[in-house]
Amino acid sequence: LPPGASEWANSLGERRVRAVEKVVANGRPTNILEIGAGSTWIARRLRERYSPEIYVIVDPSVRDSAEGVEVILDYFPNPQLARRRFDLVLGFSVLEHVPGPLNFLCNIRRQLATNGKVILIYPDCERQLRRGDLNVLVHEHLSYFTEVSSRWLASAAGFDVLSLTRENDTFT
């Protein structure tokens, strides 16, 4: 469940907010795109922290709203974003669910402003795959990532990886 649904979901949301704060540091993103948000919970916190001019969420499942947050109830990529560019693109627990991760990242690249940044958080399956733990495949994920596959994918989509950290079987 998305942040706002439970204490556990909120704790995961707080981790995501801290990841954004770490990447943004002393900067101030003015145009933020969040893909697959699930709710406006993170958007509200980031709007409080950074006061961006534009904050857009693309997700067909969002049921709440927040002041200053445009919600597109559809999937990414989306024609409503055609000529728009964002200096910060967020995707939390979404990369593993898309049918074509390379195409997905290439579409993100098209939406990215010059010098923009992308923050993705998704499962790190390397440890389970190395152990032969098939339980990793029980989830509804379409793709499973290791550090090598993550770096290859980012490079193939035209990104420079500034940081790739792993914690609790998760890449950020």
Structure confidence by residue, pLDDT tens digits, 115-139: 999 999 999 988 888 888 888 787 7
Report the pLDDT averaged over residues 84-111: 97
pLDDT of residue 93: 93
Q: Which of 151, 89, 159, 88 has the alpha carbon at shortest distance from 124?
A: 151
> What b/e readout covers 140-163, taking b as 16+ CB neighbours within 10 angstroms?
ebebbbbeeebeebbeebebeeee
- In whole angstroms, what is the distance from residue 146 CA to residue 126 CA? 5
Sign of the CA dihedral with 81 first, then 87, 92, and 94 last: positive
pLDDT band at 42 (very low <50, low <70, confident <90, very high): very high
Q: Which two tokens stand for residue 16?
A: 């995501």
Report the pLDDT averaged over residues 89-103: 96
Bridge partners of 129?
none
Q: Is the pLDDT of residue 147 over 80?
A: yes
Instruction: Please tell me whether residue 139 adopts helix, strand or coil conformation.
Output: coil
Backbone angles phi, psi at 137, to 5 degrees: -85, 0
pLDDT of residue 138: 74
Quote the pTM value.
Answer: 0.94
Q: Which two tokens stand for residue 86?
A: 């964002």
Q: Is the pLDDT of residue 14 over 80?
A: yes
pLDDT of residue 102: 98
pLDDT band at 143 (very low <50, low <70, confident <90, very high): very high
Identity at 104, one-letter amino acid code: F
